[in-house]
Amino acid sequence: MITTRLLLLLFLCTNSFLDEGEIIRWNDTRKLSWTDFKGPIEVESDAAAVTASGITFSFAIRKTDDKITNFEAQAEAHFYTQKSWFIKDRCNNYILAHEQLHFDITELHVRIFRYRLEQLQVSQHIKTQLNALHREINKELAEMQNQYDAQSQNSIHKEEQVKWEAYVAENLKKFEAYKSQ
């Protein structure tokens, strides 16, 4: 007897992104524009702009006679328009490029995640492994996003900004085989 139980779990970096309006999937031919930043400005923030992006993750488990026999997993980089915002008189194309790189860093981590997912072997603990891997990649993503802002001083340090752009481009290329089709 073959039974298939589809377990679809939607995980996001922050659960508050659920049902939050338009979501833009990362695509190397579509760059962000200021019209994508539709969220309310956080007046208490010192930021000129905020990019809300995250990893959407789902997986399906196949069981035969209550034994896990296979799994499929999907991960995507998404930009959340209603959580992203900018202050028009403080922003320009240079700042937009900084914000785009935040989204690109999310895509980089999706590719790394897909690579790691491919390395997993089917086991009776696969759900635990998938969830742990998802938590791990989100932690690494948050750390890199914070490191990027700290080193570039939120884009003020132009030399560091250029270094980050090169680093992310190089690594996106390195993991190109894991780019979404």
For residue 103, is it left (φ>0), alpha (ψ between -120 and 50) or beta? alpha
pLDDT of residue 18: 47
**Bigger pLDDT: 180 vs 136:** 136
pLDDT at 4 over 70: no
Strands (E), the chain: 2-3, 23-25, 49-50, 53-64, 67-80, 85-86
pLDDT tens digit sequence for 9-68: 223 333 444 455 799 999 999 999 999 999 999 989 999 999 999 999 999 999 999 999
- Residue 6 above 60 pLDDT? no
3-class secondary structure, 134: helix
Q: What is the pLDDT of residue 19?
A: 52
| Interacting residues of 112 by C-beta distance below 8 A, sequence separation 6+ | 137, 140, 175, 178
For residue 142, give both structure tokens.
């948050």
pLDDT per residue over 105-159, tens digit each? 999 999 999 999 999 999 999 999 999 999 999 999 999 999 999 999 999 999 9
Asked whether the predicted pLDDT for residue 90 surpasses 60, the reply is yes
